[in-house]
Each structure stands twice: as C-alpha cells, then as structure tokens.
C-alpha cells in the first residue's frame, strides 16, 4: 500500500492569508478593489479573488514611471491594494498624490525588511540585498533604500558564490563601501544567506569594514523548508504544489532535491505524471506559501487516482 504523506508545515502563510482576508473584506463584485499586480503567485487564488471583486492592475514594474496616472485612470476612485510583497515609497506617494484610497496588505515581515533598508540608508550604510533583482518584494525593498536626494543606496545580488561577490567588490562604482548593511529576500534559504555573508567577510578580510547583517528571512518559509526537507528524506518522491512564479515554491523543490529525492513542482493536478510514482512506496507532498488547501487536496486526490488506475 503506497503511503501519501504531507509536510507538517506547508501552504498558505500568515502574510498571504492576511492579505487575502483584507482584500476580500474590502472588495465586492460590484465595488471592486484594484490590486497592484497579482495578490499571490497562484492562479486559483487569483481567480477566486477576482470573482469577489479583487481585480489585478498591472504591477508597479509594468507601470513604472506612470503608475499614479495609470492606476487612477483604471481604478476611477476605487481603492488600490498593495499586495503582501509590498511596494517602494515612491509608489505609495504616487498613489496618494492621485488621491487613491490605499488598502495596504504588505506582510509585516516584508515591512520590517523595508524599514531596515530605510534605516540603513539614513545611518549611512550601503544596502546589499541578497535576492532576485526582478522579484516584486525585492523591488519594493529597493524602493525604501533611497537617500534624501532620491538616489538609490542599494544593490541586489542574486548569488552567494565567491566569484559573483569578488566581481561585485572589484567593480563596485567608486570602490566597495566601508559601511554595508546586508539583508535577504524573505523567502531565500538560510544556508544560502549564511554563505553570502560568510563569503563577503572572507573577501574583505584584509580590510576594516563595517558589516551590519539583519536576518530578514521569513520564519514561515524557513519552517516550511525544514518540514519539506525532513519529509523528503523519508519518501521516494516529493510533489511540490504552487504557482510557477512563486519563489518560495521553487525553493521548496530545491530543498527537496538537495535531500537526494526527486521532486516535481506542479501548479495543479493535471500536471501530475503517472511515471513519477511508478516505483514509489512513499510519496511526499508540500506546498508553497501562496498555495491554498484546495489545491493540495486536488493534487492528493489525483495522485490517489493515478495509483489506482
Ligand atoms: Fe510574509 Fe513570509 Fe508569507 Fe512572505 S512567505 S508573505 S514574508 S509570511
């Protein structure tokens, strides 16, 4: 009898649950709220929210430079909602300048990272963000690391590898700063962030410099990664459920593979392939922080069908 086991900690995190609830309370089908981009990287949740009146506007990255007027034109006085990933200060100011009511669902853990970025800059640090430069949360944090003249005082670095950091230091415009504040995208892996900080210090060992590290990683994400790794070591195959664009879902799959277990990332039950389960006696399931329980239930039900086909 094949066993199907779920990770002890998985699925909707506090920040996403909170954002979805706030938006659902603020919107009605006949009185919409316009969210700046998708509320979560999960097509099922986005569809359900749209039915309740939460309509995505193109994200601030798409509307760059023209956000206020575009949002005002589309929203026509209806509230604009900031998603759990948050936005930069300028975006907030633009929305306010156009008189649009704001429903702010930024996750408190992301807000904390934004405030640290702002504080670092005020205290004279250059901010290094270990993260994906194109990720919405990272772009939002960048938007708080600006000085009084509106100049960015932050750099996003996507890799903890020695070579990448060596190049960063060697080619830093005007020389590598002597005061550096370091933080990470909230959904990154603890091991990678630790490597980032350690490598940075090793490369600067000949030099007196001030390094201020703040742990901006999200406990919800690290807890889910630990639970996924624990389960992956005990099963023959892992199925990771979540939106294709979800960074934390992708990291969950990586964590599972690092345990030596094949892991497959699916958005829904239709993507499951019978060949994945051919020799499996124990199948594990985990899900990203933006994945609702219904999606996990549907995937598990389909696995059971495939096993009995
Ligand atoms: Fe907030 Fe963590 Fe959820 Fe991101 S993963 S929304 S930081 S609780």
**φ, ψ for residue 83 (rounded to 5)?**
-80, 175
- Using the structure block, give the residue that is written with the tokens 């995190």: 13
CA 19 / ligand 1 centre spacing (Å): 10
How confident is the prediction along the chain (309 residues), in pLDDT tens digits per residue? 899 999 999 998 999 999 999 999 999 999 999 999 888 877 778 888 999 999 988 766 655 556 777 778 888 889 999 999 999 998 899 889 989 999 999 999 999 999 999 999 999 999 999 999 999 899 999 999 999 999 999 999 999 999 999 999 999 999 999 999 999 999 999 999 999 999 999 999 888 889 999 999 998 888 999 999 999 999 999 999 998 888 889 999 999 999 999 999 999 999 999 999 999 999 999 999 889 899 999 999 999 999 987
End-to-end Cα, the chain, rounded Å: 14
As for ligand 1, residues whose beta carbon falls within 6 Å of it are 13-16, 84, 107, 109-110, 186-187, 218, 220-221, 248, 289
Ligand 1 atom closest to Cα of residue 186: 7
Ligand 1 atom 8 nearest Cα = 15
**Residue the block writes with tokens 């091991």:** 191
Atom 4 (ligand 1): residue with closest C-alpha? 15
**Closest-lying ligand 1 atom to the alpha carbon of residue 14:** 8
How far apart are the C-alpha atoms of 75 and 33, rounded to whole Å? 8
Compute CA distances 107 → 16, 30, 44, 248, 293, whole Å. 7, 27, 20, 15, 20
The rounded distance, in Å, linking the Cα atoms of 213 and 210 is: 10
Look at residues 49, 31, 53 and name the one whose alpha carbon lies nearest to residue 40: 49
Beta-bridge partner residues of 34: 55, 80
Q: Which active-site residues does the annotation give?
A: 137
């Amino acid at each position: 009898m094949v066993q199907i086991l779920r990770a002890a900690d998985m699925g909707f995190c506090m920040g996403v649950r909170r954002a979805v609830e706030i938006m659902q309370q603020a919107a009605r089908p006949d009185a919409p709220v316009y969210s700046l981009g998708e509320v979560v990287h999960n097509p099922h949740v986005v569809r359900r929210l749209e039915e309740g009146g939460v309509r995505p506007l193109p994200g601030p990255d798409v509307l760059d430079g023209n956000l206020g007027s575009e949002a005002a034109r589309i929203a026509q006085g209806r509230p604009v909602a900031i998603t759990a990933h948050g936005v930069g200060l300028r975006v907030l100011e633009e929305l306010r300048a156009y008189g649009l009511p704001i429903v702010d669902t930024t996750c408190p853990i992301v807000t904390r990272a934004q405030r640290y970025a702002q504080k670092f800059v005020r205290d004279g640090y250059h901010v290094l963000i270990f993260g994906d430069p194109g990720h919405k949360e990272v772009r939002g944090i960048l938007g708080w690391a600006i000085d009084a003249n509106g100049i960015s005082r932050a750099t996003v670095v996507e890799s903890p590898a020695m070579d990448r950091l060596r190049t960063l230091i060697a080619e830093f415009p005007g020389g590598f700063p002597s005061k550096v504040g370091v933080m990470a995208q909230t959904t990154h892996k603890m091991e990678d962030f630790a490597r980032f900080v350690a490598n940075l210090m090793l490369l600067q060992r000949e030099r007196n410099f001030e390094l201020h590290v703040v742990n901006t990683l999200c406990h919800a994400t690290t807890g889910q990664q630990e639970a996924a790794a624990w389960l992956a070591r005990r099963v023959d195959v892992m199925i990771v459920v979540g939106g294709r664009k979800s960074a934390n879902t992708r990291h969950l799959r990586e964590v599972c593979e690092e345990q030596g277990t094949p892991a497959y990332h699916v958005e829904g039950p239709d993507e499951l392939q019978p060949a994945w389960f051919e020799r499996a006696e124990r199948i594990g399931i985990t899900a990203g922080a933006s994945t609702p329980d219904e999606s996990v239930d549907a995937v598990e039900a389909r696995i059971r069908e495939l096993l009995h086909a």
